Amino acid sequence: MQDYLLMIVAAMFINNIVLIRFMGNCPVVGVTSSYESAVGMGAAVIFVATMAGTTCWIIQKTILEVLGIEYLQTLVFILVIAALVQFVEILMQKVAPPLYRALGIFLPLITTNCMVFGVSVLNIKEEHSFMQTLIFSLASAVGFALVLLFMAGLRERMDATGRVPSLLRGVPITLITAGMMGLSFAGLLGMA
Amino acid sequence: MEPVLTAILTVGAIGMLAGLILGVTAKIFYVHVDPRIGHVADILPGANCGGCGYAGCTDLAAAIVQGNAPANACKAASDELAQKIASMLGISVDQQERQVAQIFCHGDAAHAQRKFVYLGIQDCRAAQLVSGGDKACTYGCLGLGTCVQGCFFGALHMGPNGLPVVDTELCTGCGSCTKICPRHIPKLIPVSQKAAAFCSSHDAGKVVKEICEVGCIGCGLCKKVCPENAVEIDKFLSVVDPAKCTGCGKCFEKCPTGIIQSVVLTRDLKKKAA
Amino acid sequence: MAARIVNEFTKGFWKEIAPLRFALGICPSLAVSTKVESALGMGFAVVFVLCMSNVLISAVRNLVPDKVRIAVFISIIATGVVIVELVMQAYFYPLFLVLGIWIPLIVVNCIVLGRAEAFARKNTIPLSLSDGMGMGLGFTLSLVVISSIREILGSGTWLGMLVMPEAYPGFGFLLRPPGAFVIFGLILGIMNVISARIEKKTA
């Protein structure tokens, strides 16, 4: 149990998938100009990453390793993720239309997000068990969503005061802010 | 040979299985969307300004197709667009007069007093929260340009004297500026209205005289002199009824502050110079 | 025609340099830029994948139905990446270890799919090839610039050779993730200023 707790804290903060592992920067820079879109994107990513991580793990163990074609991991994983996201989108549109309207436009965006694919590959690389895969994927995605929310809140505030020098407005100040945030997260190093 | 075959067959099988599942799912979970909604949404301007009261153009298109909204509900669409929608759906539409926004405050830096110097977030909604705004008049324009940013059609810009200016060619009368202004100073008037009192202050005349040189003091001279009875005084503020006003201008001469004036539909000054 | 090919090639180096203009391909730019050596390795891997995918996608652009085009593009790109992975593992093993997880992540590099979607599926093979080369080499150039700054200031070396005086303690912050973000942000800001100045001069 304690192992899992440690893994959750590590995945969410100490080895935060965006700020420390560098995966999934594009949405952080692109989607965080408004708080609502950040919330939508974060929720969609948590949903997709958890499912994709576990599904890819299952495929790795039951198909790729059994047939000895682990080298096709990249190709198979990305195809599975793309198909999974499309499947979920179709289902959502019929079964939960309000949820679809809230998350809908972000789902195709997430298919090619480094974060989802990266988490799936990381699970295999770090040789997680199924339970560990599930928890790691979920915790990493929550960490990602947290960073999105923090960044959106900060950016909205920064844009409102209008005191950012024009040299740095837009993407540059977002990246610098991300660096500062990463610095504070890295302060937790040594806990795990 | 065998590894190559394994690879090709496995990936091919996964691909085909995925395709099959997706195809079947798409059929089973098919959501029927009335194609006319898409057509109507294409005709509408697509600015998602919310002036119609619906959550975006697609939402209004759905409402029009289902018969819950008239074909000319979109204030930003011209009459011919409304006709197009109506004829496509086989319904009729009655003409409504176009409305434009006007700024009901003339208290610029030269004529209206400020209580203090405001250095906070440059947004009227934020300024309003700080002791009710830095302007002495609690009804007057704070001049930080929230309405300019809130206009979906670029019809507002900040004038040189700190008051917003409406480009009535671009203004569609959607009313977003009225909603976003914390004091609702931009107001919609019919495009044919000839005269108006450009003030929003309901303060008594004595108070207004102290804080603003051009504000309406509610003296009622305009009401007395109007031959058509088109002017009413609503809590110390003069209001012109567009249906009755003929634009004769008798009230302009009598007004002590000059706040009641003829309505001038202004073009964008930049465009005028070009 | 030749002029167009040259134009598509050169635009990737300044006018449309991907990471610094469009903020595409930020993830690998930050991750592998601690050393110029690994940056070059990543850069050339991306050049290969870009060229291959651009050419193949351009070749099949009229045969692929619109609804499944993303899936087809991704498959082609993924195949290219698997090739790169295996070749690197066989012939450039130290580089393979350094780049680690970032090689398979070339598949989801925004630049690769972005060029496929925006260019390769609408243009002929020679143009797509030159676009792929230009974009890829431009990406490599920006990677080299960023990693040079980080390596020289961070560890005092460049391509493994000592360039700063012996006593230089090394600015460790730049080698860590937070430093990467800050340096990248500053470089982007400077890029904005430089291009604004140039545009003002030519306008």
pLDDT score, position B181: 92
| pLDDT tens digits for range A167-180 | 888 788 889 999 99
Give percent above pLDDT 70 in chain B.
93
pLDDT score, position A88: 80
A104 at interface of C, judged by CB pairs closer than 8 A: no
Q: Which of A8-22, B118-132, B186-200, C56-70 has the lowest mean pLDDT?
A: C56-70
Most confident of A64-68, B5-9, B114-118: B114-118
**Which among C24, C27, C111 is the top mutation candidate for probing chain A, defined by the most A β-carbons within 10 Å of its own β-carbon?**
C27
Residue A96 above 80 pLDDT? no
pLDDT score, position B11: 86
C27 at interface of A, judged by CB pairs closer than 8 A: yes
Residue C11 above 80 pLDDT? no
- SS3 for chain C, per residue? CHHHHHHHHHHCCCCCCHHHHHCCCHHHHHHCCCCHHHHHHHHHHHHHHHHHHHHHHHHCCCCCCHHHHHHHHHHHHHHHHHHHHHHHHHHCHHHHHHHHHHCHHHCCCHHHHHHHHHHHCCCCHHHHHHHHHHHHHHHHHHHHHHHHHHHHHHHCEECCEECCCCCCCCCHHHHCHHHHHHHHHHHHHHHHHHHHHHHHHHC
B10 at interface of A, judged by CB pairs closer than 8 A: yes
Are A192 and A14 a contacting pair, CB within 8 Å?
Answer: yes
Averaged pLDDT, C122-127: 86
The pTM assigned to this predicted structure is: 0.73
What residues contact residue B10 under an 8 Å CB cut-off, 6+ apart? A63, A67, A69, A72, A76
What residues contact residue B85 under an 8 Å CB cut-off, 6+ apart? B40, B43, B44, B64, B71, B72, B77, B93
Report the gap between the CA of A97 and the closest CA in chain C (Å).
22
Which residues is B112 bridged to in the sheet?
B212
Q: B22–A83: do the CB atoms touch at under 8 Å?
A: yes
Q: Which of A30-34, A176-180, B108-112, B203-207 has the lowest mean pLDDT?
A: A30-34
B9 at interface of A, judged by CB pairs closer than 8 A: no
* Three-class SS state of B242: coil
Task: Give the pLDDT band (50/70/90) at residue C177.
Answer: confident
**Which among B29, B33, B130 is the top mutation candidate for probing chain A, defined by the most A β-carbons within 10 Å of its own β-carbon?**
B29
Q: A63–B10: do the CB atoms touch at under 8 Å?
A: yes
A168 against B135, higher pLDDT? B135
Report the gap between the CA of A147 and the closest CA in chain C (Å).
14
Beta-strand relationship, B237-240 and B231-234: antiparallel
B55 at interface of A, judged by CB pairs closer than 8 A: no
pLDDT score, position B271: 42
| pLDDT tens digits for range C92-113 | 999 999 898 899 998 888 888 8
pLDDT averaged over chain A? 85
pLDDT score, position A192: 56
| pLDDT tens digits for range B233-249 | 989 999 999 888 998 88
pLDDT score, position B267: 65
Write down how long chain B is: 274
Q: A68–B25: do the CB atoms touch at under 8 Å?
A: no
Task: Give the pLDDT band (50/70/90) at residue C39.
Answer: very high
| pLDDT tens digits for range B56-115 | 777 778 778 877 777 777 777 777 788 888 888 777 766 667 788 999 999 988 899 999
What ipTM was predicted for this assembly? 0.83
B26 at interface of A, judged by CB pairs closer than 8 A: yes
* Three-class SS state of A185: helix
What residues contact residue A164 under an 8 Å CB cut-off, 6+ apart? A158, A173
CA–CA separation, B227 and B250 (whole Å): 8
- A122: number of Cβ within 10 Å: 21
Query: Rounded to the nearest 5°, which phi and psi values hold at A21?
Result: -90, -5
| pLDDT tens digits for range A99-156 | 777 666 677 777 778 889 999 999 998 888 999 999 999 999 999 999 999 999 998 8
Residues of chain B contacting A91 with CB distance shorter than 8 Å: 25, 29
pLDDT score, position A105: 65
**Which among A20, A22, A64, A87 is the top mutation candidate for probing chain C, defined by the most C β-carbons within 10 Å of its own β-carbon?**
A22
Nearest to C78 among A23, A29, A75 (CB): A75
Residue B140 above 60 pLDDT? yes
B18 at interface of A, judged by CB pairs closer than 8 A: yes
pLDDT score, position A100: 74
CA–CA separation, A63 and A6 (whole Å): 30
pLDDT averaged over chain B? 84
Q: Which of A108-112, B145-149, B236-240, C50-54 has the lowest mean pLDDT?
A: A108-112
Angle, to 10 degrees, between the axis of helix A114-125 and the axis of helix A73-95? 130
How much of chain A is in helix, strand and coil states, percent to nearest 5?
80, 0, 20
End-to-end alpha carbon distance in chain C: 28
CA–CA separation, C161 and A151 (whole Å): 38
pLDDT score, position B120: 83
